[in-house]
Chain A
């Protein structure tokens, strides 16, 4: 039921919540996070109690109810709005100003439970992230919010890596019906290899065990470890990470040195490619788009959602990109070809003479995966693409997932366009000579019907191609 409505003028007013919520549920440290990170655009907080939270209940019945001391079965749930709410009667008119919810559990040490907060509820958020719609219900009123889920570890049943797996699992189960919902206790008890000792109470887990958890949910995880990429180009490891993030695939990043794990769920605001090339004194033919992206968006269970991690310290976050020792990518079954393969293969199509790039010294290369369904949907709305290039791709049979390589001259990239876009079969074998479905330059395209005819076609354009708009369906921009 609706317990109380607080009108606030800044995040500092969150202390009013202590009028009705005990510190077991809202600790001093959590209050400090509220005051530091919640947006000052929040005007109302609605407090709901008793709230039955299925994730907390799963740990309650699996663990807390077995303790000698007693724990409350119920939680508080806070709902945030951008407009003042005088009484519950005006809630139906406030739906459009809804900024999401936070569940507070009676788990003292880390009481922040399931958090579904819009990035607009976080002070100064500016970036791109994976998100999907969740629908909360308050007094029978449906309140939609678009976000990526977040929670804190409870330190008894779950640790940070469990919390991150939960975030990813909940995002996918809400977005795609093929993935099952997994409650907090299900995640913690998914590890079957107990050679490291009992799993609950948890004493921490390894990246390998994270992979086991993701596998138990129905993913096909791929693992990358930084130390294997230290020879040659040490930034290559981060370029791989960027490809998956740009694909809209949330990643579990492990920081062994910091004994911590976070979810990487997007990236920060982009910087100019022209300026980046100058700053780096870059002379290579391809500049990975990651170099124009100084930070990644993370969900760190020690904080509220949507923090940043970069090469340098970002907004008070103690972690840096160099702290990431490895990461696990929760792939779908039919995503066989991995990002590192693609990053090595695509430059060779130009150097091997299949296509001839223009006179630019450097092209910005943005590499990502998407579904062919999403890609073809974007093609139907692509008004500035050559009609033959567009229609040929719409007609060409494609697998469920494809890799896309977008190449842009620096000035073209800075205005959100690409010169060339190549499409690759994500089910291809990495040792295949021709894994692409379509590559092109300004004069011609090569189309490979890999499934029906098994033929490769070369088609000349009627007139040289001009730049067209980048693909934007994977991540949502918030500024």
Chain B
């Protein structure tokens, strides 16, 4: 089956669809690459290391 069931959300009548290339989202995209990605990479690295260190934390 390949068909689309038409639905309409309550907010669609007054909504503006945001284009990924719009100025607003492009600006955020740059901000994300500069400010967010480095921090997320650091965090994910910590979580990977935590799995190794967890075997050194002995409890009774």
Residues of B close to A223: CB separation below 8 A: 47, 50-51, 54
Interface size class of A (residues with CB under 8 A): 35 or more
Asked if B3 is at the interface (CB within 8 A of a chain A CB), the reply is no
| A-B pair number, CB within 8 angstroms | 147
Whether B59 and A458, one on each chain, are in contact in the complex, defined by CB atoms closer than 8 angstroms, is no
Closest CB pairs A-B (n = 10): A208-B55, A352-B31, A457-B15, A208-B54, A207-B54, A207-B57, A261-B59, A456-B18, A352-B28, A225-B50
Whether A206 and B56, one on each chain, are in contact in the complex, defined by CB atoms closer than 8 angstroms, is yes
Whether B40 and A225, one on each chain, are in contact in the complex, defined by CB atoms closer than 8 angstroms, is no
A220-276: which have CB < 8 Å to B?
Answer: 222-225, 227-229, 254-256, 259-261
Whether B54 and A351, one on each chain, are in contact in the complex, defined by CB atoms closer than 8 angstroms, is no
Residues of B close to A222: CB separation below 8 A: 47
Distance of A57 from chain B, by nearest CB (Å): 24
Question: What 0/1 pattern do residues 7 to 33 of B give for CB contact below 8 A with A?
Answer: 101111011111010001101110110
The stretch among A63-71, A131-139, A388-396, A418-426 that forms the contact with chain B is A388-396
The stretch among A7-15, A278-286, A306-314, A340-348 that forms the contact with chain B is A340-348
Whether B60 and A159, one on each chain, are in contact in the complex, defined by CB atoms closer than 8 angstroms, is yes
Whether B43 and A206, one on each chain, are in contact in the complex, defined by CB atoms closer than 8 angstroms, is no
| Contact flag A255-B16 (CB < 8 Å), given A223-B54, A345-B36, A354-B28 | no
Task: Determine chain A's interface SS by DSSP, over half rule.
Answer: mixed
| Contact flag A206-B17 (CB < 8 Å), given A344-B43, A388-B11 | no
Asked if B53 is at the interface (CB within 8 A of a chain A CB), the reply is yes
Whether B47 and A348, one on each chain, are in contact in the complex, defined by CB atoms closer than 8 angstroms, is no
Residues of B close to A153: CB separation below 8 A: 60
Whether B57 and A325, one on each chain, are in contact in the complex, defined by CB atoms closer than 8 angstroms, is yes
Residues of A close to B43: CB separation below 8 A: 338, 340-341, 344, 430
Residues of B close to A204: CB separation below 8 A: 58-60
Whether B50 and A446, one on each chain, are in contact in the complex, defined by CB atoms closer than 8 angstroms, is no
Whether A225 and B54, one on each chain, are in contact in the complex, defined by CB atoms closer than 8 angstroms, is yes
Residues of A close to B32: CB separation below 8 A: 348, 352, 433
Question: What 0/1 pattern do residues 203 to 217 of A give for CB contact below 8 A with B?
Answer: 011111111000000
Task: Return the contact of B16 from the options A352, A449, A458 (Cβ within 8 A).
Answer: A458
